[in-house]
Amino acid sequence: MSLIATPQTMQFKQALQLKGGGVLQEYQLTFETYGELNAQKDNAVLICHALNASHHVAGTYEGVSKSEGWWDNMIGPGKPVDTERFFVIGINNPGSCFGSTGPMHTNPASGNIYGADFPVVTVEDWVDAQARLLDALGIEVLAAVMGGSLGGMQALSWSLQYPERVKHAIVIASAPNLNAENIAFNEVARRAIVTDPDFHDGHFYVHNVVPKRGLRIARMLGHITYLSDDVMNTKFGRMLQSGEDFKYSTLDIEFQIESYLRYQGDKFSEYFDANTYLLITRALDYFDPAKAYANDLSAALARAKAKFLLVSFTTDWRFAPSRSREIVQALISNKCDVSYAEIDAPHGHDAFLLDDKRYLNVVRSFFQQIKNNSGEPQ
Amino acid sequence: MSLIATPQTMQFKQALQLKGGGVLQEYQLTFETYGELNAQKDNAVLICHALNASHHVAGTYEGVSKSEGWWDNMIGPGKPVDTERFFVIGINNPGSCFGSTGPMHTNPASGNIYGADFPVVTVEDWVDAQARLLDALGIEVLAAVMGGSLGGMQALSWSLQYPERVKHAIVIASAPNLNAENIAFNEVARRAIVTDPDFHDGHFYVHNVVPKRGLRIARMLGHITYLSDDVMNTKFGRMLQSGEDFKYSTLDIEFQIESYLRYQGDKFSEYFDANTYLLITRALDYFDPAKAYANDLSAALARAKAKFLLVSFTTDWRFAPSRSREIVQALISNKCDVSYAEIDAPHGHDAFLLDDKRYLNVVRSFFQQIKNNSGEPQ
């Protein structure tokens, strides 16, 4: 059985104060829901997205082929997050370019497109915005909040910002903050975008151009960090794009990996917004719940009351298992209820989006153990 | 005691046929020498450079402060490669931007600057060019050839192209070929350069511009791959550029690692040639001695007659120890005389240029065991 997804949009007139000092006087949030909210309103699961994703988490758009949501293997009827039991919400964050208010929208204060004037947003701001959507939907407590990578940071932050509103938090392929190498890769991507002559200080929209060169480089670079060395060697190795002999050219494509990266970069530059890329990579850089606790992660997580599931993947060198283990240790030191699975998967950071039976079964088991008050199977 | 280095240039009128099909009808090579060639001419050591280096391997330029050669900690009087015993040659490769004929020079066929018309050069071509310099210097047999990274590939290739002319080969922090991830990083750097509007299809010289944006990105990216995750966290971590609070900006520098990378990128873009960057990264991509032997590295190395020293560094994720071990295994399978040291160093790929006593002592010991016919201490 396949889900049909329908995006919805909700307007918010109450100003959202942002951690960085800015404010969104009014904004809209785009979201999708799957399954039914039960009478007790206690079966809601919120899914938080990562850098390149959106509210379109599961199902397909009616009549649109290949329109599966980005976590469609995880969420749906009979799937690990079972929409026959749970009411699942996919939400797009402010600052994104997929529907919620972002840099491509009009700044009501000026009447112009926000562009680079869109205020800096943080993981904490996104969680605040998500909480308001739940308020509007009449959902006081989440059965679970869940995300991978940057989405996992949001799930973790939920458990700290709204500890009473989160029963379970599922944090996948994530980290308690970015390390220097993570920040470094983000910075190279940002510099590629910002120094593209078509960036025009972030106000390229009025020039009718898009800094595609920068976006391409950012995405090519991103892809390298999403894949493991192993899977790159298995999938591409030194295979040539055509024939068995080199063409001997500095400009032409020789290797299949080059073709793959160029294709991914070109595709991305056609649909992703450059200012959104800057904002989201900065939100990644800034996330650091331990910062206000003298870098003591254990102290930072002391507020958490949720039951946790952490999952990491052995070949993920972007957010290595050691980073997940830091969170696990800090939760254990607070006597939190935490399960942790380290999946021996070859696919690197990307593994959190892929089909891996052990991984999907870990999530399935965790959700099967989530009790609700509706008398359904435990 | 400090060496004073003096660059020399030699002209070659005999055409150099290149592996990629091109030809250099005439060319010059820039080089430096340290120490004295003995009467038997059997104490010569050739040093091959990597991506960003030159013939200026050791010593300083008279009256120029901070002009130490790039391997000055390794080569000099009383140093691991002792110039009181050995005649050491540093050579700049064709295609470079530091003196030997390269893209910034005039193409004698057209009278214009080569630019993108400079022919593709390979590791094998560089070795051929280096061999001609030795011919001109009257050196038939090298006591040793030595290099790190791409320089190590040249040392390995010497042992295959001219097995009778190499007594010892020292291959440091190198690999038998690039893997998919290595090629991927090269490709992102190349795309950044080539898509810079100031690149002008590689003929930017006549426009009086330099594709600095692309060069900056290439260098920032390179630096990430030269450093280990560990050393980045130790050196930079999440330390802020100023103060203890975030500025909350997508454009300003927040973290010290960002400042470091921008500085390195800016500096590089002031002196390095964009076409050279393309040529040298391609030479890296193309190096693959096993390719002509159905990817059987052991078969490819069967010709080698030198005694080998291989060195790798545990935290080098660009050319990981496993890549050096592939070479070691292939040499052993050919019953070659090979020593191998895996140095537990925190500095990543950069370690081959840094002071590490164990590393320097391994090289020192190896050179102390090199016999020569002059009756000096063995």
Q: How far apart are CA A372 and CA B161, in angstroms?
A: 73
Mean pLDDT score, A38-52: 97
Tokens 């308020």 belong to A135
**A207, A211, A213, A218: CA torsion to nearest 10:** 180
Contact between B260 and A224 under an 8 Å Cβ cutoff? The reply is no
Cβ-count burial B100-124 (b if 16+ within 10 Å, e if not): bbbbbbebeeeeebbbbebbbbbbb
Evaluate if residue A288 carries a pLDDT over 50. Answer: yes
Sorting pLDDT into bands at 50, 70 and 90, what band is B315? very high
| Residue A27 identity | Y
Evaluate if residue B375 carries a pLDDT over 80. Answer: no
Does the annotation mark A200 as catalytic? no
Q: How far apart are CA B378 and CA B376, in angstroms?
A: 6
Q: Considering the candidates A56, A168, A223, A349, report the single residue annotated as catalytic.
A: A349
Which pLDDT score, from 0 to 100, does residue A2 have?
A: 76
Evaluate if residue B373 carries a pLDDT over 60. Answer: no
Mean pLDDT score, A187-194: 98
- Taking only the tens place, the pLDDT of each residue in A297-342 is 999 999 999 999 999 999 999 999 999 999 999 999 999 999 999 9
Q: How far apart are CA A221 and CA A261, in angstroms?
A: 8
Sorting pLDDT into bands at 50, 70 and 90, what band is B1? low
Q: Which tokens sit at A126?
A: 């996104």
Percent of chain B surpassing pLDDT 90: 97
Which pLDDT score, from 0 to 100, does residue A378 have?
A: 39
Please state the φ and ψ torsions of residue A110, each to the nearest 5 degrees.
Answer: -115, -20
Does the annotation mark B96 as catalytic? no
DSSP SS3 for B349: helix
Evaluate if residue A375 carries a pLDDT over 60. Answer: no
Contact between B88 and B119 under an 8 Å Cβ cutoff? The reply is no
**B352, B356, B358, B359: CA torsion to nearest 10:** 10
Mean pLDDT score, A31-41: 98
**DSSP assigned state of B240:** B
Sorting pLDDT into bands at 50, 70 and 90, what band is A372? low
Q: How far apart are CA B326 and CA B296, in angstroms?
A: 11
User: Which contiguous run of DSSP H or E holds residue A362?
Assistant: helix A357-368
- Taking only the tens place, the pLDDT of each residue in B86-129 is 999 999 999 999 999 999 999 999 999 999 999 999 999 999 99
Q: How far apart are CA A351 and CA B39, in angstroms?
A: 63
- Asked whether the beta carbons of residue A265 and residue B194 sit closer than 8 angstroms, the reply is no
How many Å separate Cα A45 from the centre of its chain? 15
Which pLDDT score, from 0 to 100, does residue B372 have?
A: 52
Of B120, B180, B246, Cβ closest to residue A249: B120
Q: Is the minimum CB–CB distance between B243 and chain A shorter than 8 Å?
A: no
- Mutation target for B interface from A187, A233, A245: give the one with most B CBs within 10 A: A187
Contact between B255 and B236 under an 8 Å Cβ cutoff? The reply is yes
Q: Is the minimum CB–CB distance between B171 and chain A shorter than 8 Å?
A: no
**DSSP assigned state of A4:** B
Q: Is the minimum CB–CB distance between B192 and chain A shorter than 8 Å?
A: yes
- Taking only the tens place, the pLDDT of each residue in A139-172 is 999 999 999 999 999 999 999 999 999 999 999 9
Residues near B252 by Cβ (< 8 Å), separated by ≥ 6? none
Percent of chain A surpassing pLDDT 90: 97
Contact between A97 and A91 under an 8 Å Cβ cutoff? The reply is no
Please state the φ and ψ torsions of residue B19, each to the nearest 5 degrees.
Answer: -60, -35
Q: How far apart are CA A156 and CA A169, in angstroms?
A: 7
Contact between B205 and B115 under an 8 Å Cβ cutoff? The reply is yes
Does the annotation mark A149 as catalytic? yes
Neighbours of A172 (CB within 10 A): 28
Evaluate if residue B59 carries a pLDDT over 60. Answer: yes
A316 closest CA partner among A307, A325, A329, A304? A325
Cβ-count burial B324-334 (b if 16+ within 10 Å, e if not): bebbbebbeeb
Which alpha helices (DSSP H) does B67-176 contain, by range? 123-137, 150-161
B278 closest CA partner among A254, A204, A292? A254
What ipTM is given for this predicted complex?
A: 0.95
- Mutation target for A interface from B188, B225, B261, B275: give the one with most A CBs within 10 A: B188
Q: Considering the candidates B54, B96, B100, B149, report the single residue annotated as catalytic.
A: B149
How many Å separate Cα A107 from the centre of its chain? 25
Contact between B341 and B362 under an 8 Å Cβ cutoff? The reply is yes
Contact between B50 and B58 under an 8 Å Cβ cutoff? The reply is no
Percent of chain B surpassing pLDDT 70: 98
A245 closest CA partner among B361, B184, B291, B234? B291
Evaluate if residue A377 carries a pLDDT over 60. Answer: no
Contact between B134 and B46 under an 8 Å Cβ cutoff? The reply is yes
- Mutation target for B interface from A248, A252, A266, A317: give the one with most B CBs within 10 A: A248
Q: Is the minimum CB–CB distance between A85 and chain B shorter than 8 Å?
A: no
Give Cα separations from B62 to A50, A353, B3 (angstroms): 56, 59, 9
